[in-house]
Chains A and B, each alone.
Chain A
Amino acid sequence: MTLLEAVDIRMFYGSVCALDGVTLRIGRGEFVSIIGPNGAGKTTLVNVLTGLLAPTSGTVRFKGEDVGGVGPVRLARLGMARAFQLVNVFPALTVGETIAVAVLARLGRGARLFAALAGERRVWDEVRSVAELFGLGDTLARPARTLPQGDKKLLDVASAFALHPEVILLDEPTSGVSTADKHAIMEVLVQAAARLGIHSIIQVEHDMDIVFGYSDRIVALHQGRVLADGRPAELQANDAVMATVVGRAHA
């Protein structure tokens, strides 16, 4: 069953064509990796799918609803969340507060004016359990800006997971992290997704070990077009695609 679909998406930045007719359907329960060389349009596609950018033409539907231009808040409510390619935290908020913002929003309690934040039992219990899933349980009281780079990225992902979305989009969740740590992060992500009932994961990823190790399906972008879309084994068998999108790294 299709959860998220993009139909004939075109995206121009001025005269630069970043997406040139991309059509994509993502089903419940899929783990999809989007791959492609730098500048292929991967981040643009994620931004269009998550409503951060309105495409020049084409439609994006989530659970059958046209979500073009509905904005991230509505998407979060519908069950879509994302984490960003570049480190994206609330610098002065603590790890616990960062996750709490998401939990409060999900529970519809973010606008409570006169309730004591400290007294929100259920929220803090959940904050603790999400933080523990991501190995951030010991850092709850630390301001986000003091975390090491890798933990900042995890915190960004953790706050997105705290929304209990049905689908989550991750733009290079392991970029800037050592190869050894990449696998650890992926393990954490996959387990957390299972625990929190997140059905589908869409990630942009460069590391081919990760891509081929975890994905059910791989979408290869090149110059704004879908070059290939299939199971890892299918892509691996396609030498032309492997040469174009993976290049020397896998040659």
Chain B
Amino acid sequence: MIARVAGAAAMLALLLAPVLASPYQLTLLLPAFAYAIALLGLNLLFGTTGLLSFGHALFVALGAYTAAWLTTRAGVLALEAIVLAAAALAAVIALPVGLLCVRYVKISFGMLTLAFGMLFYSFLYKFYLVTGGDEGIRVLRPRLLGQTFAGLDKVGFLTGPFYYYALALLVLAALVMRRIVRSPFGLSLRAIRENPDKAAFVGVSVRRYRFYAFMIAAVFGAVGGALLAVPTGLADPQLAYWTHSGNLVFMLLLGGFHHFLGPVVGAVVFIFLQDAVMSLTAYWRFVFGALLAVVVIFFPGGLLGLLARERPA
């Protein structure tokens, strides 16, 4: 009940934010929305299936480069097409990567995903002609539902129509993910997380289901990445760097991976906290490292774990 009211209030605040919040705050919410979508996918792997990926940034980068490549090099400006292309490309890349990674669990799985992330980083860095090398590729302003919003300047576009577009995409992503988590498939994934050996003995194809989860996570990662690239206006190799994957895991732990909305809370809090700490000190990485340690040791359930005493399914 309280959660419902809090959720409704948060949704209302987000809907009214373009009127209430400053443009600066709004431009912070945009990457938070994008990360939240990517994290919904990451959490299907970790929170639901029990596989911790340290290479999820690969797919975020893939989505961002899709947006960059399509807008700058192919003249495709429709964001709907860009998002779909990012999702499709992520599925194509996740197919071999996932087939290999899900053969392993725990730390081996984590290390393999990390390795693939670094491979992709090197690819982005070295294959200058395709990827623009260390400079990356610019991302042009996309069209939203066929509209160019030519009358709006950059900030006006981002904090107006694009804000609502990103919010709508996040809501859609959350509804789809909720559907997945509450499906028979979602239950099978939780059984795998709890006890893969037993799951196999009651007929669950453990590796196949882990692979499906990996594919879905990749698609969400790339959709988030495509959205992330629009406000930053750039896709560069740092997006695929392992520290970026680390940040994604941090956001998830911060929000609380036991909870369905943990990824959303984690993304928003992380972005605002990072902005605040960065403005105070150049040692923000140090502060964040310490904060991560505190979360892991004292608040393993993350922020939502603090709020909700009951551990939800």
Interface residues of A (CB under 8 A from B): 50, 52, 71-73, 76-77, 81-82, 84, 88-93, 97-98, 100-102, 104-106, 109-118, 120, 123, 156, 159-160, 162-163
User: Does more than half of chain B's interface fall in helix, strand or loop, or is it mixed?
Assistant: helix
Interface residues of B (CB under 8 A from A): 179-180, 182-188, 190-191, 194-195, 197-206, 208-209, 212, 311, 313
11 A–B contacts from the bound complex (CB under 8 Å): A88-B198, A90-B194, A90-B199, A93-B187, A93-B190, A97-B187, A97-B313, A100-B187, A111-B185, A115-B184, A160-B202
Which residues of A are found within 8 Å of B205, using beta-carbon distances? Answer: 73, 110-111
The contact of B184 among A89, A92, A112, A163, by CB within 8 Å, is A112
- Would you call A101 and B199 a contact (CB within 8 A)? yes
B301 to chain A, nearest CB (A): 13
A175 to chain B, nearest CB (A): 17
Q: How far is the CA of A106 from the CA of B208 in the complex (A)?
A: 16
A30 to chain B, nearest CB (A): 21
- Would you call A73 and B311 a contact (CB within 8 A)? no
A226 to chain B, nearest CB (A): 25
Which residues of A are found within 8 Å of B202, using beta-carbon distances? Answer: 76, 81, 101-102, 105, 159-160, 162-163
Q: How far is the CA of A73 from the CA of B180 in the complex (A)?
A: 23
The contact of A105 among B182, B194, B195, B204, by CB within 8 Å, is B204
The contact of A117 among B183, B198, B200, B203, by CB within 8 Å, is B183
- Would you call B185 and A113 a contact (CB within 8 A)? yes
- Would you call A72 and B201 a contact (CB within 8 A)? yes
Assess A89 versus B195: contact at CB under 8 Å? Given A160-B201, A163-B203: yes
The contact of A73 among B191, B195, B203, by CB within 8 Å, is B203
Assess A71 versus B200: contact at CB under 8 Å? Given A89-B195, A93-B190: yes
Which residues of A are found within 8 Å of B180, using beta-carbon distances? Answer: 113-114
Which residues of A are found within 8 Å of B209, using beta-carbon distances? Answer: 110-111
- Would you call A116 and B182 a contact (CB within 8 A)? yes
- Would you call B194 and A117 a contact (CB within 8 A)? no
Q: How far is the CA of A93 from the CA of B192 in the complex (A)?
A: 11
Which residues of B are found within 8 Å of A98, using beta-carbon distances? Answer: 191
- Would you call B195 and A102 a contact (CB within 8 A)? no
Q: How far is the CA of A117 from the CA of B73 in the complex (A)?
A: 44
> 7 extra interchain contacts, Cβ-Cβ under 8 A, other than A110-B184, A113-B183?
A81-B201, A90-B194, A90-B198, A101-B188, A105-B203, A111-B188, A111-B209
